[in-house]
Chain A
């Protein structure tokens, strides 16, 4: 292949790519404008009001109309109340209510739309037993009961998402992860090196101290062992300490790093099965509590590995417990706690649990929601006692029922108003197919961590076609217009078919790109009288060649 041909084969597709990218963006913008205009028209004529408040119907086995008002209230309370456990495993239902606060404004502050001073929010609490009987009522801060606290995600965690954001180039350059260490003799600074996956330390004189890797301190970078793929870190300053400790989680390990002592402890290692998530209770002991709790909790870290095992790492005293989570449990909703006397496991579950493929194509998600949300479903919590070998014993449970969701609300969510349906009909149906084919985890990770990707995906979600008959009908119209335009200008069947398929796939954006790249002047054929493109030597209809210009008297070049 000659270099000239190669250039042509690269240049032409690249021009098409540039054009279609810009046209897709343009069409997105046009769609947004059209939707805004459509919404304005709906608002002006009061159509939006009619649409939102249209009669709703309900299906399902449980009909709430059959219940008395009191029963309805009790059921509703059961659903919305927070469920708590006392250390003796008794269940309490609590309902918090805000006391309306007076928002006084002075003249200047009312202009600024700010309250003059913020009052602490006052709430009252009603406590019910498992049979829904009121047992206590009063101010929330005077509650006589102390309930069990459960492990939760570390609040100030630094996740993989933050890790990526930190390394994003940005106009202000990427950032580095730096851990300062203070001492009376001078300071140190430990900086994470992403390429070698170790920390390097500098002292106040900017001399290198050494490296910290998975195996601990090392004199040189080559002898420092990399930690492994980063997932999460928690850093905290323990009570009565000056410097932070760091919990560093990778795919398979959890490290605790003490930079001051230049020590690394592997507190969990699961080489066979990667860690799915990590939760903790009192592990981060820097948090000062205003009221000393009467229940004494042991520091607890627990993580779920992908093989479905829940690993509990306890301190005071050191203990490790592994629990096999049954396959039918919703493992992500399991939490644990450890008091001085017992270890408890709390299981929450529901019939309406989203499938694993919940974050899959939205069309399928909508189908699932229609199926499950339109009928009554059960939800329950179970409290288990855990022994030292990880065996579970059920000690208490509570179950309640959710009523079906009104179909009217469902249709509002999934069936957009007419102006949106019409506007979306001009979008490319390709987005839905790409969503089907794309690697979901990668896409969702990019969505979570990159703001621009999030903006682009939100824009696409707002304007993407619904892949319905209207969408395809508009695509067909676009193909017909392209065919009508291209017939007289065609320079080969392959080329014409390519452009027709292209227009069919990209809809309006495809047609605009086609016109931008293929429009040429058409003249009237002197033989058949029909239009013919000037880029083609012969007429597409009669096959006659372009007419030669008539020789003038002053022409200097003659044909032989």
Chain B
């Protein structure tokens, strides 16, 4: 019960950012997708014939152009939520107030993490699902996008959670900026690049899991032992 209260409290505090993320993604990606489906090369089979290149047999899905938007929105949201959850209590000096509750520190951390994960699903996940269905059911697209594309979008959202965890570890670390405090944030590009380089979904999930284990274990250890 206390855990749920904490989750609700974090969600309430993060709500403006979650709404902003959802609205931005819907506005930018929605416009791009609508324009692409309406006016793009996917309007008919003749597009295939018109490609004079002999070897033009590989195709991006119609959702191609919104991939970078989804990825950037997800990473930005992860960074903002991480700052909101772990840096702002430090700046506002509210850590002591937060930790005085009759729950363990790990519970507080897990509540924040759960709120962030739920926030990703509610703000980006639902919008992404809507965009995917729009692309899937557009009559102008010769063949619907494969399910794999939807999963890849979910992977982008998981990368946002990796950024969130890295921001959490950086925010919680007591080390100095010029030593190891900044390292978790520097580690995230490694995870992101290693993930988007994978050509099998299992490989991408494996990289993300390794990244999450590395960052989550550090975050839990620091929050359990550090003094606030």
A11-B221, A19-B183, A169-B204 given; A175·B197 CB < 8 A: no
| Interface set, chain A 133-158, CB cutoff 8 A to B | 156, 158
Report the Cα distance A235→B58, complex, angstroms.
Answer: 12
A283 to chain B, nearest CB (A): 15
B190 within 8 A of A: yes
Among the 9-residue stretches B15-23, B85-93, B211-219, the one with 4 or more Cβ atoms under 8 Å from chain A is: B211-219
A156-B54, A178-B58 given; A189·B143 CB < 8 A: yes
| Chain A residue with the shortest CB-CB distance to B72 | A171
> Does B57 contact A179, Cβ atoms closer than 8 Å?
yes
Report the Cα distance A4→B221, complex, angstroms.
Answer: 8
| Interface set, chain A 193-222, CB cutoff 8 A to B | 193, 195, 202, 204, 206
| Chain A residue with the shortest CB-CB distance to B151 | A169
B65 to chain A, nearest CB (A): 8
A158-B57, A517-B180 given; A189·B45 CB < 8 A: yes
A21-B187, A178-B57, A180-B45 given; A169·B152 CB < 8 A: yes
Residue from A7, A15, A169, A174 with most neighbouring chain B CB atoms (10 Å)? A169
> Does B213 contact A10, Cβ atoms closer than 8 Å?
yes
A22 within 8 A of B: yes
| Chain A residue with the shortest CB-CB distance to B153 | A173
Interface code B164-206, partner A: CB below 8 Å = 1, 0 otherwise? Answer: 0000000000000001100110110010011111111100100
- The bracket for how many chain A residues form the interface is 35 or more
Report the Cα distance A453→B194, complex, angstroms.
Answer: 9
The 8 Å CB contact of A14, one of B57, B71, B214, is B214
- The bracket for how many chain B residues form the interface is 35 or more
Number of cross-chain contacts by CB at 8 Å: 144
Report the Cα distance A186→B68, complex, angstroms.
Answer: 34
A7-B220, A191-B143, A517-B180 given; A172·B58 CB < 8 A: no
> Does A452 contact B193, Cβ atoms closer than 8 Å?
yes
A516 within 8 A of B: yes
Report the Cα distance A19→B200, complex, angstroms.
Answer: 28
Interface code A433-464, partner B: CB below 8 Å = 1, 0 otherwise? Answer: 00000000000000001111100000000000
B155 within 8 A of A: yes
A528 within 8 A of B: no
The 8 Å CB contact of A204, one of B45, B68, B201, B213, is B45
| Interface set, chain B 125-165, CB cutoff 8 A to A | 139, 141-144, 146, 148-149, 152-153, 155-156
B63 within 8 A of A: yes
> Does A19 contact B180, Cβ atoms closer than 8 Å?
yes
Interface code A47-90, partner B: CB below 8 Å = 1, 0 otherwise? Answer: 00000000000000000000000000000000000000000000
B61 within 8 A of A: yes
B226 within 8 A of A: no
| Interface set, chain A 1-18, CB cutoff 8 A to B | 4, 7-8, 10-12, 14-15, 17-18
**In the assembled complex, which residues on chain A have CB atoms less than 8 Å from the CB atom of B214?**
14, 17-18
**In the assembled complex, which residues on chain B have CB atoms less than 8 Å from the CB atom of A452?**
193-194, 197
B228 within 8 A of A: no
A168 within 8 A of B: yes
**In the assembled complex, which residues on chain A have CB atoms less than 8 Å from the CB atom of B196?**
168-171
A14-B214, A176-B146 given; A516·B190 CB < 8 A: no
Report the Cα distance A166→B48, complex, angstroms.
Answer: 18
> Does B197 contact A206, Cβ atoms closer than 8 Å?
no
**In the assembled complex, which residues on chain A have CB atoms less than 8 Å from the CB atom of B156?**
171
> Does B199 contact A175, Cβ atoms closer than 8 Å?
no
A164 within 8 A of B: yes
Report the Cα distance A7→B104, complex, angstroms.
Answer: 15
**In the assembled complex, which residues on chain A have CB atoms less than 8 Å from the CB atom of B149?**
173-174
**In the assembled complex, which residues on chain B have CB atoms less than 8 Å from the CB atom of A162?**
58
**In the assembled complex, which residues on chain B have CB atoms less than 8 Å from the CB atom of A7?**
217, 220-221, 224
A-B contact pairs, 16 of them (CB 8 A): A18-B187, A19-B180, A166-B58, A169-B201, A171-B71, A174-B199, A176-B146, A178-B57, A180-B49, A187-B142, A191-B146, A206-B141, A236-B54, A237-B54, A452-B193, A452-B194
Sample of 12 more A-B contacts, CB < 8 Å, known A14-B218, A178-B57, A182-B48: A12-B221, A14-B213, A173-B149, A178-B58, A178-B59, A178-B143, A182-B49, A195-B148, A235-B55, A236-B54, A516-B180, A519-B179
| 3 A-B pairs with least C-beta separation | A187-B45, A11-B221, A180-B48
Q: Which residues does A use to contact B, with CB under 8 Å?
A: 4, 7-8, 10-12, 14-15, 17-19, 21-22, 156, 158, 162, 164-180, 182, 186-187, 189, 191, 193, 195, 202, 204, 206, 235-237, 244, 286, 449-453, 516-517, 519
